[in-house]
Amino acid sequence: MHPLGRVLVTGADGFIGSHLTEALIRAGHRVRAFVYYNSFSSDGWLDTVPADIREEIDFFAGDIRDPNGVREAVRGCDTVLHLAALIAIPFSYHSPDSYVDTNIKGTLNVLQAARDLGVSKVVHTSTSEVYGTALRVPIDEEHPLQGQSPYSATKIGADQLALSFERSFDLPVAIIRPFNTYGPRQSARAVIPTIITQIAAGRCELKLGSVRPTRDFNYVADTVRGFLAVAASPLSVGEVINIGSGFEISIGDTCRMIADLMCREINIQQDEQRLRPDRSEVERLLALNEKAKRLTGWEPTYGSMEGLRRGLKETIDWFTDPANLRRYKVDAYNI
């Protein structure tokens, strides 16, 4: 049996979760994919993976907010990779209660089920947004946590719950804290897909929010390798581990790099509805990833300017495939 045993991936139907599920299957793991129950019989992005991958997946449709369903999903699994969450920051201004239910109560459901059923390892997914605007760079795992949006506040709460279960009940929990992941299948509410899809649709005047903030962008393949490394390392238990490239770039410069890769001339228009409230905007993110290297052996393969160009090229190639581009509503701003 593989060291991780049977693996449950919550949020397996989402952007990172679908890539992670696919990678686990390709590596020979037995995987149960927790997908969000819906009346369309949709498994999200897992509907698009190759048929030979799909037939190896044990699908479980449920709702992370329901403790009974979560318990049944966890039953029989040895490792839980918990990614299910509401993540769109603008929607968290609109409907914060749903973020508490999904991100905090959903995480509690996973932790309680894992504790009661004797799970060997839980990897809980955090986010670099919990750091808020950097008070010092690069950002290490001891940086203060700042809830600058309802989304980040709920993720801070979920992180602390996860750590409390490790300290209170010796539940083997590790927290992975990815910085800004991008790549194929990402939602158009994120900035890189927004830029690519607008250019691919023939737009020269791009509508964006603030282009001043800097981000530490991680290609999804690096993030997925981070999950696998944290899950496999016994040294990760009880730890918070940044998964970041260690390279920062402004939104504006990222936009210009994408336009250059797509051989297009563009102008950027600031769209007021895409702006965060002033004190909610995270102005700077740059990861210190030394701890990931030391505890798990992980390091980025898409770090640096050259790595970002390579990752963006792969992302552009996927989005500009007409079959993929048709899935995105370029004319609609998706909060």
- Residue 316 sits in a domain of what CATH number? 3.90.25.10
Q: Is residue 155 part of a domain?
A: yes
Which structural domain, as residue segments, surrounds residue 263?
191-213+248-283+303-325
Q: Both 209 and 224 in a single domain?
A: no
Task: Give the model's pLDDT for residue 334.
Answer: 57
Q: Both 176 and 198 in a single domain?
A: no
Tell me the C-alpha distance between 213 and 249, whole Å: 8
Q: Is residue 28 part of a domain?
A: yes
Total domain count for the chain? 2
Q: Both 125 and 171 in a single domain?
A: yes
Q: Both 201 and 123 in a single domain?
A: no
Q: Residue 234: which CATH number?
A: 3.40.50.720
Q: Both 230 and 266 in a single domain?
A: no
Q: Both 205 and 166 in a single domain?
A: no
Q: Both 88 and 129 in a single domain?
A: yes
**In tens digits, what is the pLDDT along the chain, a chain of 335 residues?**
468 999 999 999 999 999 999 999 999 999 999 999 999 999 999 999 999 999 999 999 999 999 999 999 999 999 999 999 999 888 899 999 999 999 999 999 999 999 999 999 999 999 999 999 999 999 999 999 999 999 999 999 999 999 999 999 999 999 999 999 999 999 988 889 989 998 998 888 887 778 888 999 999 999 999 999 999 999 999 999 999 999 999 998 999 999 999 999 888 777 666 666 766 678 889 999 999 999 999 999 999 999 999 999 999 999 999 999 988 887 655 55
Tell me the C-alpha distance between 299 and 290, whole Å: 8
Strands (DSSP E) contained in 56-104 are 57-62, 79-82
Q: Is residue 55 part of a domain?
A: yes
Task: Give the model's pLDDT for residue 263.
Answer: 93
DSSP 8-state assignment for residue 96? H
Q: Is residue 135 part of a domain?
A: yes
Is the link from the previous residue into 193 a cis peptide, with omega within 30 of 0?
Answer: no
Q: Is 35 helix (H, G, I), strand (E, B) or coil?
A: strand
Q: Both 17 and 130 in a single domain?
A: yes
pTM for the model stands at 0.95
CB 10 within 8 A of CB 31: no
Q: Is residue 334 part of a domain?
A: no
Q: Is residue 89 part of a domain?
A: yes
Provide CB contacts within 8 A for 245, sequence distance 6+. Answer: 179, 216, 217, 218, 222, 287, 289, 300, 302, 303, 304, 307, 308
Q: Is residue 1 part of a domain?
A: no
Strands (DSSP E) contained in 66-126 are 79-82, 121-125
Q: Both 177 and 196 in a single domain?
A: no
Q: Both 124 and 234 in a single domain?
A: yes
Q: Both 129 and 263 in a single domain?
A: no
Q: Is residue 331 part of a domain?
A: no
Q: Both 12 and 53 in a single domain?
A: yes
